[in-house]
Amino acid sequence: MENYASKPIMFILLTLVSFIQFVFILRFLFEIMRVNFYNPVSQIIVKITDPILKPMRVIPLYIGRVDIIIILIATSITALKIYIPYSFSSFEFSLNSLVLISFGKFLDEALTILWWSVIIGAVGSWFMSYTKHPLFSLIDELCEPLYIPIRRILPATAGIDFSPIILLVFINLTQMILIPPIFHLARIL
């Protein structure tokens, strides 16, 4: 069923769905890390996600700082992102496998966004003129709660902060340990 018109349509759909997924993952990370919601970048994310989140928050579902509604929406959007390329073919998913794969992919992409935030924050810290930009202050607020426990353990060094390097290793280890069992479980179902 794949023809010359289906690839551009699939590309546009995947791009839109990926953008929406990225925005919801950012909203999830912003709420967990308690970033400043008066930041202009945070306000853009809130304005994009609120029309979908507000009607769904009739019954608040929180576990500590974790908003379960955002996780459910982001997992659903991830499922749509996974399903779109296969919708033009005869490949079929079981619903259980699709939900598990989507949740695993959601966690993987959230950790990847954190990984890139650490990289951007570390590179941005080398340039003093850019540290006043709202994006860099947002990245600092996103990563700082993760740096604090590492800085407590590491001894103080003269001018070199090793906490981003340790955090990058920890994020990669988390992805290697946490994500494959989820995908393996989805394959069994």
User: pLDDT of 30-66, one tens digit each?
Assistant: 999 999 999 999 999 999 999 999 998 888 888 887 8
pLDDT at 88: 67
pLDDT at 131: 67
pLDDT at 158: 73
pLDDT at 130: 63
Taking 50 as the pLDDT cut, the residues of the chain under it are none
pLDDT at 155: 79
CB atoms within 10 A of CB 19: 12
pLDDT at 47: 95
pLDDT at 168: 96
